[in-house]
Homo-oligomer: A and B are copies of this chain.
Amino acid sequence: MSELRFDPVKKIWSVIASERSRRPEDFLVRRLTANGEHTEVCPFCPGSEDKAGQEIFSLRDAQGDWLTRVVPNKYPAFRIEGELQRFAHGMYDCVAGIGAHEVVIETPKHHMNIGSYTDKVLKDVFTTFRERVLDLKKDTRFRYIMPFKNYGTLAGANLEHPHSQIIALPVTPDIVKTKLTSAQEHYRNKERCIFCDILNQEKDEGSRIVYENQDFTAFCPFASSLPFEVLIFPKRHTHCFEKSDDSELSGLADIVREVFRRLYKCLENPPLNMVVHTSPPSVRRPSQPNYWQSIEQDFHWHIEITPRLSGIAGFESGTGFFINPVSPESAAGFLKGVN
């Protein structure tokens, strides 16, 4: 089983994933095969359902054919079975790698790029995310549940067939904790949602907005770490992605399709990551009695889309902050200009 280990100086968790154990030569292979794993038969295509693993969930059409399928990750970073053990190793802290690690097969079609997604496919994907998050939130061992997508080898995708992942974690990750705390502090001081304040300033200024529809706004964040980063926020204040109704998911599919299409055209099919940040399960822990109390008011779910246009360099890894050669105002300008 994998193990979460805590760095007592940097205060971050890392997952030491023995199930994915690699030897030095494996990394060389990964560097040389730039287009991901090529297998004779794609395990995610129709007809290979038995190769993809036991089905956890599927969305099906009127004929009973699947539109999306959810299966366990073949090389899971976390295992669903077992007790949530927390233990010390000398001065270090560890947690057993309990969690969930699922793969969402987004469509039966093997070939699809971010420029060719349709509203229909994206709505199916987000509906699948919603159903899985609702189910995983029932498990009280989990502290954070996150749907995300890696697109392209440089963004971490190993298989070509369109897919995304859902992970459920036994700890609240550091970045998420910071976001939750910032939102909570802001609300405590001002009785306003920090994300709603950001949306209002973006709307007033206008220069960083990429696209909007009735329910959602997409913009390049003011302090973008990376070029062409895009955030998507629901206009209505709401902390839970998984409480979105079908009409909201249609609006979400529309805006994601449009952002994908513009990134595809503007940056010629860039590798990218997409992450859905919804409020964590409302576990009230004794040490933090009020931690989750205000989350309905202070958190606002959102999606981060991050093209991966260059590697991480020493400056970034040493400081945690980024040198971004494209201002969010010009990135938004380029994306707005796409026909």
Contacts and interface: CB of A to CB of B under 8 A. Distances in A.
A274 B9 contact: no
Interface of A: 5-18, 20-24, 27-28, 30-31, 77, 89-92, 144, 146, 148-150, 153-157, 165, 167, 169, 173-176, 178-179, 182-183, 186, 194-195, 197-198, 201, 204-205, 221-225, 227-228, 266-268, 270-271, 273-275, 277, 304, 306, 308-328, 330, 334
Contacts of A273: 312-314, 317-318
Contacts of A91: 197-198, 201
Given A13-B321, A77-B315, 7 more contacts: A7-B225, A8-B186, A9-B198, A18-B327, A20-B323, A21-B330, A165-B314
B9 A155 contact: no
Nearest to A6: B223
B14 A223 contact: yes
Nearest to A12: B321
Given A22-B326, A30-B309, A91-B198, A318 B12 contact: no
A285 B339 CA distance: 51
A8 to B, nearest CB: 6
Contacts of A321: 12-15, 173-175
A7 B330 CA distance: 18
A24 B267 contact: yes
CB-based closest 6 A-B pairs: A156-B313, A175-B320, A173-B319, A148-B314, A275-B318, A273-B314
B182 A77 contact: no
A16 B155 contact: no
A335 to B, nearest CB: 9
